[in-house]
Structure 1
């Protein structure tokens, strides 16, 4: 019974450092980057995890959709003011799954830790996976704001 875990680097995100540090700032809009200099930006990895388990394939998070390569505004809307996405060629979750010899339809479960864009933007790239899981709270928030329209599949 062998279990393999593949760490998939599914892009980078540049944000104001107040976001990941949960930093209190004098500027209440610091997280947006408004009135903040470039020195307050930080670039972080965006990761997904593919687990090969004897009972099936599990993908945790999906990283960026490859649409960010051509139009961040189309993919992220007004979030482009807060998040800057980077997705080099070959780094999308679909591309990496295929490079490991799998098809996205082979995935038994896609588990989403939460639905921030850098964790769930790639949902359309794995829309043919068998099952999708997220917390009830994330599901309710996403359905209230129309976040899940792109995938077209219900998360359970």
Structure 2
């Protein structure tokens, strides 16, 4: 059966070629994420680092409180114990607040969900812009339409 040679044959051959998986694609993905959300990435990583530093500090304060409470006598001032309890409560409150915003809790207060929604809008706008610049002949190729459907299924189903 003779093959029809229309204007989409060369385009279809290029589309059928698939890139082999490479680590450089992951590096490009992460560089894309960080370049498009530098401030948010820094905030999220900073809060996570602060949280990892607050947990040992809480343990240290609690250990000091237990030691002082065990060695407390009736003539000693109670103010250091109250100060340790207040410091423990305040740091615990801040740590729990950061934990709620960075870890899996309710979705309304998670920073990663807010950022994912922002990226979803960014990706959608870039995809629609790229699609609007395509030659209409691309849409006559079944393999292209299949690839487009897979891309949309992947990107539009949410994070």
TM-score, normalised via structure 1 length: 0.25
Higher helix share: 2
TM-score, normalised via structure 2 length: 0.25
Higher strand share: 1
Larger radius of gyration: 2
